[in-house]
Amino acid sequence: MAFTQNIFVAVDTVVIANNQKVLLIKRKNPPFQGKWALPGGFVEQDEDLPESAMRELKEETGVRAVINDLSFVGVYGAPNRDPRFRTVSIVYRLEILETVEVKGGDDAAEAAWFDLDDLPELAFDHAEGVKDARF
């Protein structure tokens, strides 16, 4: 059986502080350049999914996480969620006690905390991931 799939795998992390703030990054590059999004990105070839989430979070915001602190939120894979190509994203949640200092890095122009009840418009389908992570 031959496969002709061209599907990319990504990870995103919903970081929630004190049940009231969520950590977002401002995208430096297209698509959605200048829009706010969850910290995340593409899984590298030989990388486990939680490790990828922790790497992307650190690269884009400076926040460090450990695997045991991540909890699974869901999988998002609508065919047109990414205008570049078919992407399936695994979303994790990281809960911390209070906000910490963050700084945009890698392909994030900025990183900042936002009130969960007053979020800007989010790139991709990230608003759905934030909604599903609130429990």
Q: Which residues are catalytic?
A: 110
Q: What is the DSSP letter of 59?
A: H
What is the maximum span of the chain, computed from C-alpha positions, in angstroms? Answer: 51
Give CA–CA dist 73/94, Å, rounded: 10
Q: What are all long-range contacts of 41-45, with beta carbons under 8 Å and residues at least 24 apart? A: 41/10, 41/11, 41/106, 41/107, 42/8, 42/9, 42/10, 43/9, 43/10, 43/11
Full 3-state SS string of 81-99: CCCCCCEEEEEEEEEECCC
